[in-house]
Amino acid sequence: MGENIMSESLLSFSEVLLFGRLLNDLKVAKSKIAAPDKTVRLVATKKVKVNKNISIVDGTIDGEEVAAGNLVLVTGNRPKKNGIYQVTVDEENYKLESQERIEEDALVKVTDGDQYEDSFWQQTLPTPAGFEKQEFIFRKELSEKIGANKQLKDQYGKDSRLARIYGFSFEGTYYELPEPTIFLVHGKGESPTEGNRPGGLASRAPSDPSLSGVASADYQISDDIRVWDYDKADYTIRMDVMTGQFEQVLLDIYFGFDSPAVSGAKVSGAKVSGAKVSGAKVSGAKVSGAKVSGAKVRGGD
């Protein structure tokens, strides 16, 4: 998160600030769709000069600037020129050198690029002794991209993490969740209190709304709480966790008198979906085992 990412602006009313702590025992891991035989940074699908200088103006491949030591998969040349090359730099001259040939059916993964980030390519030509020709095809079905705009895939960057969220602020008001809930977040988060502490007060309210997301408060935020700033249209993942006896967290939900299943509601992972609540303000009420039919809420008034 950048230094000014949480500053107040015209878009502040679309901000959602999540308050919580990182989970150390639950990590986000990339799916292992395929195990590549080779990994390169970029792929050149159009004809490029190999073993010759590439001018500074043309020193980009698939929208990314190349650098010394980069491995580049070349597929747009003749079969004898296709293969994996290494970028070398001599003063202001860029070269693709040291051609490497790979065997038939071998997979090459490309890690960067505007169009072909996280893409897989397969070498299709036979590889007899002393082979020279190579042809690579794009394996679209092995790609990790989800949708043309990659909005979902982009959520799983190097800084994606899971955090237990206790509350959130939206449009100047702080809302405490009935129970802590796990959300996908990015980065380590910012401290809403560090450098922003009133002195010697039994109950403190952060003095800078740009950090806390609220103008006033009658609560204290723990110093080890972190906050993550998002737009309300951003994608995320929410995981609700229930703990207790099997009778409470499993049997009562499906077979009990107050089971949502009685009214035909679908219960999946202790999440009741299909009911929309609008215009109601919940303050200090704990909602558990909500019944869709009859709007029955336990623990609330």
Contact call for residues 182 and 160 (beta carbons, < 8 A): no
Per the prediction, the chain carries an average pLDDT of 74
Contact call for residues 31 and 146 (beta carbons, < 8 A): no
Which pLDDT value is given to residue 140? 81
85 bridge partner residues:
72
Instruction: Tell me the C-alpha distance between 180 and 7, whole Å.
Output: 26
As a whole number of Å, the end-to-end CA separation of the chain is 39
H runs (alpha helix) in the chain:
209-212, 246, 252-255
Q: List, for residues 252-285, the tens digit of each pLDDT value.
A: 888 875 554 444 444 444 444 444 444 444 444 4
Q: List, for residues 238-250, the tens digit of each pLDDT value.
A: 998 888 899 988 8
The single residue listed with the structure tokens 């790979």 is: 102
Contact call for residues 9 and 79 (beta carbons, < 8 A): no
Estimate to the nearest angstrom the gap between the alpha carbon of 285 and the chain centroid.
31
Q: Give one word for 24, left, alpha or beta, with left for phi > 0 and alpha for psi -120 to 50.
A: alpha
Which pLDDT value is given to residue 269? 45
Greater confidence, 169 or 298? Answer: 169
Q: List, for residues 189-234, the tens digit of each pLDDT value.
A: 988 877 766 566 555 555 566 776 766 666 677 778 999 998 888 8
Per the confidence metrics, is the pTM higher than 0.75? no
- Cβ-Cβ contacts under 8 Å for 139 (sequence gap 6 or more): 34, 107, 119, 120, 121, 122
Per DSSP, the three-state class of 101 is: coil
Instruction: Tell me the C-alpha distance between 138 and 280, whole Å.
Output: 51
Q: List, for residues 129-144, the tens digit of each pLDDT value.
A: 666 789 999 988 776 5
